[in-house]
Every structure is written in structure tokens, then in C-alpha cells.
Chains A and B, each alone.
Chain A
Amino acid sequence: MFARLVGESFVRNPRRKILTAAALVVGMAVATATLTIALDAGDRLAREFRSLGANLLVRPQSDTLPVEIGGVDYRPVDEGAYLQDADLGKLKMIFWRHNILGFTPFLDVPAILDVSEPPVATTVIGTWYEHDVPVPDGTHFRTGLKATHPSWKVTGKWFADDAKECVVGADLAAAHPDAIQVGKPIEIGSSIVSQVRTPLLVTGIVSTGGAEDQSVLVPLSVAQELSNHPGQFRQLFLSALTKPADALSIRDPQSLTPTEYDRWFCSPYISSISYQIGQAIPGVDVHAIRRVADTEGRILSRISTLLWIVTLAALGAAALAVAATSATTVLERRAEVGVMKALGARNMIVGGIFLAEQLLLAVVGGAAGYLLGILLARALGQSVFGVPGSPRMILFPVVLGLAALVAILGSLFPLHRAAHFEPAAILRGE
């Protein structure tokens, strides 16, 4: 009987349900879309920050003091410690491997350039632009300057990682406009006394705003050959997606309880990623580049607070809209309430029927709203982040629950008033 009453109400008079259903669909679509965007935004914005470049620096532990100014190491090649490039694949085997977006090894070698008489002393920087690193699990990971230093601009094109090619810094090229031209080879040697010269084809001119503008960038293998350190490099710049620092991340891992340690290890804090890199490649000193990491962490946590405030505001507006329409529906049907009561239905039954109807409506409207919300999130994600927001199944029950809660809360107040209706007055049309 109860089920039939509810069912009949839907079949006989669907027009009455349109307003509430529309509000539910729109409100829940907005809720789904804003929640999807808010859940995605942290990750997306963190990726945006990676255009600032690397946030971790890896160096050999037993190194002597680098004589480094403006990012270029002026130490002679036979001094200090080196790292092995064969170890780098292990970086993609750590727990947070998917958060490592890229890494680039650097090997700075003092060199001379036969572009004038006497030859010009410069620094040759051996690195990768796009290099396939073999990972122990059998796959390859493509990384290099393209991933870690996206702001470096080159006129012409980058060198190929396996060719005898080079890219010359803008200031150096400007100082010797005749000898250094894109498409022409230049001769590089390791020192004045050595007669050996390596010809390298200039493929582009790079401008970074840093010391690289006065150097020559070459594939890592060329620099290794020049310095006679095959398979080795000095330092590694690494770009990783991280979670902003909080109370847990700044504590010493040694002082954590086992539960805290697990939570720390399984969160992509910059400290836990550093720790895991240190475990994967023994003998290295991994340090966060504070300038980048701190700024990024602080801005990200501010923006995510902001985003949640905005999301809550949108959720509030959606809830208000649904509650208002639910209230309207109940009031609209005062006459029905009057008839039911006149026929002897008690307040409990009347309320039960209305609530059941609202609940059914909330489930249907919420589901439709969720589907519409996925579309909305795709469009919003595409326009804001350039990547469509991916649907999250976890939001489906959340949205349904929210729809049911709001629809019922919205109906309770008018139902309470309906309980005091005098059937006679309503039926008379007063």
C-alpha cells in the first residue's frame, strides 16, 4: 500500500517533481564537479610548479667542497667524488617512483674552445636533454633537461644525446659571432697543453639567465670522454611531485613511532622521497633545494585551503537550492495532505510517504547529477588545467548521500508545518 502510494505519485503527476528533480540534478552536478576539481587541483597545481625546475639535489656524500659559482663547478676533473649514471634507473624503483617526474645528471668540465687565438677557456656542461634510462624492471624512462629545466630556451634545436653535438650559451656565442654559428662545428679540448680536439656540431644557442649562458652544453657522454670519467657525473637535479611540509614531515624519521613512520614513508613528503633516494643509491647526499621546495610547499598549501573554502561555498549553495525546492514541493501539495488526513491518515504516514518520495527523487536526481557533474568536471578541468578532470567513483556515494540528506532536511520543516494543517481548511481552499 505504502509503496503503491509512492509509486502512483510519481506515475500520475510527474510534472510536480520536475522542479525538485532539476534542482537536485543541477546542485549535485555542481557538487560533483567542484569536488572532482578540488581533489585534482593539488596534484595539477603541483605539476604547474615543476616548471620552476628541480626541487631536489643529489651529490656524492664523500665529495670535496665544490668550487661553484652561479651553478657551474670550477673544480679540476681529478678532484672530488663522482656518481655512476648506471645507478640512475634505480630511482624509478622506489616507492614514490611515479612522483619522480624527471632527473638530469650534470658533469662540469673545464675546457678550452678553439674559437679565437689564444683559445677561450670555458666550462663544458655534460648533461641529457632527452635520454632513455634503463630501469631495472626492464622498461625505459625518458628524462633530461626537458623535464627538469623546462624554462631553458634554445634557438635552433637541442643536441641529440648520442651524437657529437653541442648547444652554446648565448653570451659565449655573442662574444664570438664569427666562430660560433648554428650548423657549424667547433673544436673543444680538455686543456691548453693537450693537442686532442673534439669537433662538435653546434645545433643551437641556449639562454638560461644563469652561468650556462657562458658555457657549452654537450651530451653527458661527450663530457665524460673529455674528462676521462666514463659513466660518471657530479650532481643530479631531480624534479619530484611532493606534498607540502607539515608537522610530521619536518620530524627526524628516527624519532617516529612505527605507525608514524609508515605514514611518513607512505606520504610523498620531500623528506621521505629524499630518504628513499638515499636508500636506493648508497653513498649520496640528497638535499631539498629549499628556495624552490619551501616556496612551492607554502603556496600549494595556501591555494588548497582557498580551494576548499570555495568548494564548500559551492556545496552550500547547492544544498540551499535543493532544500528550497524540496520545501516548495511539499507546500505545493497541501491539498493532497488535506485529502490524506481527511481519509484518516496519521501524520506519521503522511510524513513517511513524502519523505520516501523525496528520498527516491534524491537517489535518481543525485545519480543523474553525478553523471552530469562528470561532464562538467571534464569541461572545467580542460579549461582550467588543460587536462580533463578524471571521474572519481568515491564521489558517487558521497554525492548520493549529500542529495538524500539535503532533500530530507529541506522537507522536514514544511512537513512539520503540514502536520498542523486542518484538513477542512485546506480542502475549503483557504
Chain B
Amino acid sequence: MFGRLLLQLLRGSRGRLAVALIAIVSGAAVISALLNLDLDVGSKLTQEFRTLGANVVIAPSQSQGSSPAKTNVAASLSAPGLMDENLVLQQMKSVKTAQVVAAPYLYVIARADKTPVVVAGTWVDETQRLSPTWKIEGNRVESRDDQAHALVGRNVARELHLAPSSEIALDYLGRTAKLTVAGIVDSGGAEDNQVFVNLVVAQQLSNLDRQIGLVQMNVGGGSKNVADVAAKLAAALPDYDVHPIRQVAAAEGALLARLRLLIFSMVALILVLTSLCVLATMAALAIERREDVGLMKALGGSISRVVGLFLAEVGVLGAVGGTIGSIVGMVLTRWMGHRVFEATISMRWEIIPLTIALMIAVALAGASPLRMLGNVKPAVIFRGE
């Protein structure tokens, strides 16, 4: 009986309910998309921030009594401030995941054509992932075993009149290395003044076999993961100094907090607007239904039963609207992911029941005008007042 009445009611005022349904569906779609985005925006933003470069650095410890200004610089040949390549790389394997990009560095101040120039020995093939913002004119160096090619900073190229495929001879205390310039690097920073060669070349040039001065790492997965990786490495390499570069983490954290707050405010505002929309429709419905209610009451229906019937109707509306809206929201999320981040936003299924519950709550809140029906006096209605 209750079910049949409900069905009749839903069918009876299709047009009216369609407006409320549209409001609920669009509200649910936007809210579920925004909640999904909110849960994923952290990892997306972290991904974007990785182009800022290294966020963890492994350097020789200062307590070894080295001359501080010369640390990381092989020029102070007595070999303090250097690290054992094998030891460091072995330990780095333990944290090596897809989220970690790392490269060792050995700096040598060599001479090229009598001009002192900083030679950075590293895995040149890894620079593409570690410093994706570099603009390179010419070719990259594709292998870390390539001992014949080098990347040259913009200022070095200008000073020494180098172009891709020209020759550069590096000299360090009588040892020389002859290389071909593969490409010119434009970074806007100190790298513009450096020559990038593979680690082996720098080690041979400085006669520091299997020694490195610095490891730069780019760890993804948010500031917590960065801290975890740094702590793990610090425990594994007690003789060296592992420190995260906090500047990036701080900026990322602040931006993320603001963004999430903004998304939440929008969700709240849209919820208010959706319930307003339902409220308007239900007010109209209540006016239209006064006669039905009068009839029901005249036939002996109790107030609670009549209002209960209407509330059930609204609840169904909220549930149906919420379900359709969540599905539309999934599509919207995919579109937003591609439009904004050029990546897929991972779907969170727990958002669907949450959205449906929210929509039922909004619909019931919007149905408050139906309570006016409780005061309807059948006699007055039938008299046409």
C-alpha cells in the first residue's frame, strides 16, 4: 500500500521532481568529482613539484675534519669530503623504487683551453629525469658508459665558442680528456657554467677511482615519503650526511593546504545551493499537494503517515539522484584529470556511498517545506481557501 502510493506520487508529479532530480544529480556529480580530486590532488601536485630538482642530498659528513669550503670539490686532492661510490650505491639500491631518481656527482675544477671550468661527473643520461626543465640544444647523452660525449652549459659554450659536435679538451694536473659536445644546456642556474661528463670520465681525470662527492636524489610521493627515504638512508650510511631540502617540501605543503581548503569551501557552497534548489522544488510540491493531503486526511490518514510518505519520496529522489550523480561524477573526474593534470585521477569507490548519503541528507533537508502539510485542515482545503 505504502509502496504503491509512493510510486503513484513519484509518477504523478514527474515534471516537478525532474527539476529536483537534475539539481541533485548535478550537485552529486560535482561533489563526487571534487572529493575524488581532493584525495588525489596531493600526489598529482607532488608529481609536478618533482621538476624542481633534487629534494634529498647525500654529502660527506662535516665531522671528518675536512676543509669546509672545499667539500665536494675534488680539487683539494687529499680526498677528504669524498664518499665511496660502491658503498653509497649499494645502500641506495635498498630505497630504489620507481619514485626515486638519483645520480652521483663528482666535481673537478679542470681547465679547458686555459679557462678554469667546473666539470661535473655524473650519470649524464639521468639528468633528463633529474632536471627535466633543462632546455638542451643538440643531443642528449644516452648512456652512462659513454666516455666520448659531454653536455656543456650555455655560458661555457659561449665563452669557449662551442657548438654541438665540436671538440672540448679538459685538462687536470696533466691528465686530459678529449670529448665531443653532444648538446648545450640552458638551465638558468649554476649548471650553465658547468660541463657535464659521465662519472667515469671525471674519476679518471681526477684520479679518484670509485669516489664521489655528492648524490642528488629526487624522491616522489610527498613530503612524508621523502622524510622516510632520507631517514632510511641516514641509518644505512652513518658516516655520511643525508639531508632533505626542505624548501620544496614547505612550498608544496603550503600550496596543497590552500588548494584543499578551497576545494572544501566549494563543496560546502555547492551543497548549500543544491539543498536550496531541492527546497524550492519541494515548496512548490507542497503547494500542489495540499489537496491530496486534505483528501488523505479526510479519509483518515494520520499526519505522520502522510508526511512519512512524502519524506520517503524525497529519500528515493536523493538516493537515485546521488547514484546517477556519482556515475556522472566519475566521468567528470576522468575528464578533469585529463584536462587539468594530463593524467588519470585514481577513482575512489568509497566516494560513491558518501555522495549518496550526502545527497539523501540534502534532499531531506530541502524537504522541510513538506512539514507545512502537517498543518493542513481538510475542511479549509476543500472549501478552496
Chain A positions within 8 Å of B, measured between CB atoms, are 19, 22-23, 26-27, 30, 33-34, 37, 41, 44-45, 48-49, 51-53, 57, 63-72, 74-75, 110, 120-123, 151, 169, 171-172, 174-175, 209, 214-215, 287-295, 298-299, 302-303, 305-307, 309-311, 313-314, 316-318, 320-321, 324-325, 327-328, 331-332, 380, 383-385, 429
Contact = CB atoms under 8 A, between A and B. Distances in A.
Contacts of B336: 306, 309
A380 B186 CA distance: 41
B235 interface: no
B189 A209 contact: no
Given A71-B190, A295-B51, 7 more contacts: A26-B272, A67-B109, A288-B188, A290-B188, A318-B273, A328-B280, A380-B265
A122 B69 contact: yes
B27 A302 contact: no
B98 interface: no
- The 10 tightest CB contacts between A and B, nearest first, are A328-B284, A151-B247, A325-B280, A317-B273, A214-B68, A289-B188, A294-B133, A321-B277, A290-B188, A313-B30
Contact of A303 (B135, B259, B339): B259
Which of A37, A41, A309: most chain B Cβ within 10 A? A309
Contacts of B276: 22-23, 26-27, 321, 325
Contacts of A175: 62-63, 65, 68
Interface of B: 19-20, 22-23, 26-27, 30, 34, 37, 45, 48-49, 51-53, 57, 62-63, 65, 67-73, 107, 109, 115-118, 131, 133-135, 155-156, 159, 186-190, 192-194, 243-248, 250-251, 254-255, 258-259, 261-263, 265-266, 269-270, 272-274, 276-277, 279-281, 283-284, 287-288, 291, 336, 339-341, 384
Nearest to B262: A384
Nearest to B280: A325
Contacts of B30: 313, 316-317
Nearest to A270: B188
Contacts, number: 227
A174 B30 CA distance: 55
B188 A57 contact: yes
A290 B269 contact: no
B188 A314 contact: no
Contact of B186 (A63, A74, A290, A299): A290
Contacts of B266: 34, 310-311, 313-314
Given A209-B57, A291-B131, A332-B287, A305 B340 contact: yes
B255 A45 contact: yes
Given A289-B188, A298-B48, A74 B109 contact: yes
Contacts of B156: 65
Contacts of A48: 251, 254-255, 258
A299 B187 contact: no
Contact of B258 (A110, A151, A172, A385): A385
Contact of A298 (B51, B62, B280): B51
Contacts of A37: 262
Given A19-B280, A294-B133, A214 B69 contact: yes
Nearest to B335: A309
Secondary structure at the B interface, as helix, strand, loop or mixed, is helix
A377 B109 CA distance: 56
Which of A313, A327, A385: most chain B Cβ within 10 A? A313
Contacts of B72: 69-70
A106 B309 CA distance: 77
Contact of B19 (A290, A298, A316, A324): A324
A317 B31 CA distance: 11
B321 to A, nearest CB: 13
Nearest to B284: A328
Contact of B73 (A69, A215, A380, A385): A69
Which of A27, A171, A310: most chain B Cβ within 10 A? A310
Nearest to B22: A320
A365 to B, nearest CB: 13
Contacts of B27: 317
A299 B247 contact: no
7 contacts: A26-B273, A27-B276, A65-B117, A68-B194, A121-B69, A291-B133, A429-B384
Contacts of A69: 72-73, 107, 118, 190
Nearest to A68: B190
Nearest to B75: A74
Contacts of B255: 45, 48-49, 299
A313 B23 CA distance: 12
A154 B262 CA distance: 32
B281 A291 contact: no
Contacts of B37: 306
Contacts of B192: 287
A291 B48 contact: no
B378 to A, nearest CB: 14
Given A19-B283, A26-B272, A317-B274, A67 B116 contact: yes
B270 A57 contact: no
Nearest to B369: A19
Which of B26, B133, B269, B270: most chain A Cβ within 10 A? B269
A331 B284 contact: yes
Contacts of B244: 209
Contacts of A293: 188
Contact of B52 (A64, A288, A295, A429): A295
Which of B109, B262, B339: most chain A Cβ within 10 A? B262
